[in-house]
Structure 1
Amino acid sequence: MEAAALPIVVAIPTKNEAENITSTVRSVLGHFAAVVVVDSDSTDDTRALAEKAGAEVVPYTWDGGYPKKKQWCLDNVHTGTDWLLFLDGDETPSPELIAELRRIFTVPAGRTLRPAAFDIPLGYWFAGRRLRHGYTIVKRALLDRTRCRFPEPDDLAAPGMGEQEGHYQPLADPVMTLTAPIEHQDLDPVRTWFDRHNRYSDWEAWLEQHPLVREQIRQAKTRQGQLFHRAPFKPLVSFGYAYLYKRGFLDGRAGLDYALAMSFYRWQIGLKAREAAAAGRAAR
């Protein structure tokens, strides 16, 4: 006898995820109330592959303002179901996570879950290898749309993010952390990781020049994110945290590569921020 579908809608925001989308859709079909790919004008076969795999496909075009893409999903995608699980186009829930969700969402009729959102750890893959150490990534991915909302900081003039919400968590209270992971396995070549983080560093560097907006972002981060937000010498701190404190060296070459990549990302942010500051002084 098949288990009933969980009372959760899976929303998968995409843009050019043809390499990954089929496995993502197949991993959730049958387990959840609905699976919806929210696609931003992909120029590859993302939409066709998602439909073939069994997902509902909804087009999305950003209007340049707020709400951005994930909040738009909360406001518009299968609004008859309160709970929504966000997955990237290269993510799949582990079997352990689906089992954990079944335990949590098996509640007596008439009762509601106390948490407004759930933080879920990521099983992170880098350059083709599953990292076992060296990182701590937790994603606030499962939301009760009636009690959660993404912040709307004054960052629309910032480069780098576009239609995506920035690197902050949706606002929710209370929040519970699950134990089983979402597997984040990107099949694209590693250069795409550097392409994305080059854009992200543009946004982060812009924030360094706009301290009021930076503070808005800081308040919407996890406690760990807030602490790192204030840390000096971020490239060195990032490398030491990932490679030494979190024992990334136990992942061999992949652990070293990831720690260096994250340190380089933090270095990019600092260098771009200093360049922008110097240009501002020269213009005065």
Structure 2
Amino acid sequence: MKLPLPITIAIPIKNEALLLQGCLDAIGKDFVEKIVIIDSGSTDDSLEIAQRNDVEVLDFKWNGQFPKKRNWFLQNHTPTTRWVLFLDADEYLTEGFKNEIRKAIVDENKVGFWLTYSRYFLGKKMKGGYPLRKLALFRVGAGEYERIEENNWSKLDMEIHEHPILKGNVGTVKSEIDHLDFRGISHYVIKHNEYASWEAERIMKMGANLEIKKQWTWKQKIKYKLMLTPFIGPVFFFGSYFLLGGFRDGSRGLAFSILKASYFTQVYCKIKEQKLSKK
């Protein structure tokens, strides 16, 4: 019998009843030492689902400033396990991933791991396009999510594109977590409109902060530089659809690449709009 891994899985939610049970089922019983849900005032059946599964729920109320949900959890409810894994409700652990992290976390030279996620669009798994990776598994105490000061300039109470700043070597887990979102295109468009507003505001406020820029990865530096130009959308589309094989997904790949390219173009337009309004 395999012992539970010394990991706390933290699942930030708000009205995730459609996805939460599947997420918990994919984790399974006795895979990790602890599962905790960080809730932002859900009004659907999310809390009932947590209760039926004997999962601890923490109530998070955001005051519009730092810290947001993940850092608040790390600072105020520090896990007693050695590792913490942040998992969204639409992210489902696979058996391949579980087997790989059993071996990965025994590496004493690593304090965290970049995780790889499958992407589903219009009901099917994507074959091509930019890979989805997040630094979501790390040792407790090795660091926190990037600190970005806010003063009620967004409505997003959870870290979106902030990434953990860790002290030590970081590895990669190649086995995928399935990223399954059943909420449809309307939800996707609304969500990414909110993300675009946050991204534009962040670039305007943080772009001149040298300390924050030092913490950016080389990919972030390229992305944020391109976001100041109208070329960000076409560059993303070309890379996703042609260089990284988005064309392998046929019409779905074309539609997905266009949607993502329009998102980045939207960020550029919002930055431009802010600059014009200040003039």
**TM-score, normalization by structure 2:** 0.91
Match of 2:266 in 1: 268
Cα distance in 2 for partners of 1:222, 1:73 equals: 24
RMSD over aligned CA atoms reads 1.9
Structure 1 pair 181–220 and aligned structure 2 pair: CA distance change class (3 A)? farther
Deviation track 1:125-157 (CA, whole Å, cap 9, x = no partner) reads 123221121122211010112111112123445
* 2:164 is the alignment partner of 1:170: yes
Q: How many aligned positions are there?
A: 274
2:104 maps to what in 1? 104
In the alignment, the residues of structure 2 paired with residue 156 and residue 177 of structure 1 have an alpha-carbon distance, to the nearest angstrom, of 34
Say whether 1:113 aligns with 2:112: no
Moved more, 150-159 or 200-209: 150-159
Give the aligned partner of residue 234 of structure 1: 232
Question: Superposed, which structure 2 residues align to 1:1-284 within 5 Å?
Answer: 2-29=1-28, 30-77=30-77, 79-105=79-105, 107=106, 113-160=108-155, 162-172=156-166, 173-210=168-205, 212=207, 218-231=213-226, 232=229, 233-281=231-279
Cα gap change, 1:52 to 1:221, in 2 (>3 Å)? farther
Q: Which runs of 5+ in 1 are unaligned?
A: none
Identity of aligned residues (%): 28
Do the aligned residues in 2 keep the contact of 1:218 with 1:229 (CA within 8 Å)?
A: no
8 A Cα contact 2:118 2:125, kept in partner: yes
TM-score, normalization: structure 1?
Answer: 0.89
Deviation, 1:255, is: 1.0
Whole-Å Cα distance in 2 between the matches of residues 115 and 247 of structure 1? Answer: 32
How much has 1:102 moved relative to structure 2?
1.3
1:179–1:146 distance in 2 versus 1, CA, 3 Å: same
Unaligned runs of 5+ in 2: none
Distance 2:203 2:103 in 1: 43
Q: By how many angstroms is 1:62 displaced?
A: 1.5
Query: Closer, same or farther in 2 for the Cα pair 1:18/1:221, shift >3 Å?
Result: farther
Q: Is the CA contact 1:26–1:53 (under 8 Å) kept in the aligned structure 2? A: no
Alpha-carbon distance in structure 1 between the residues aligned to 2:214 and 2:188: 26
User: What's the secondary structure of 1:207's corresponding residue?
Assistant: helix
CA distance in 2, matches of 1:21, 1:214: 38
Equivalent-residue separation in structure 2 for 1:214 and 1:130 (angstroms)? 39
Would the aligned equivalents of 1:36 and 1:56 in 2 still touch at CA under 8 Å? yes
The one-letter code sitting in structure 2 at the alignment partner of 1:24 is C
Pair 1:139–1:208, CA change in 2 (3 A): closer
| Segment drifting more, 270-279 vs 91-100 | 270-279
**Aligned-partner residue type, residue 12 of structure 1:** I
Distance 1:213 1:49 in 2: 44
Shift of 1:78: 5.7
In structure 2, do the counterparts of structure 1 residues 228 and 78 end up closer, same or farther at CA, with 3 Å as the change threshold? Answer: closer
**C-alpha contact (below 8 Å) 2:232/2:264 kept by paired residues:** yes
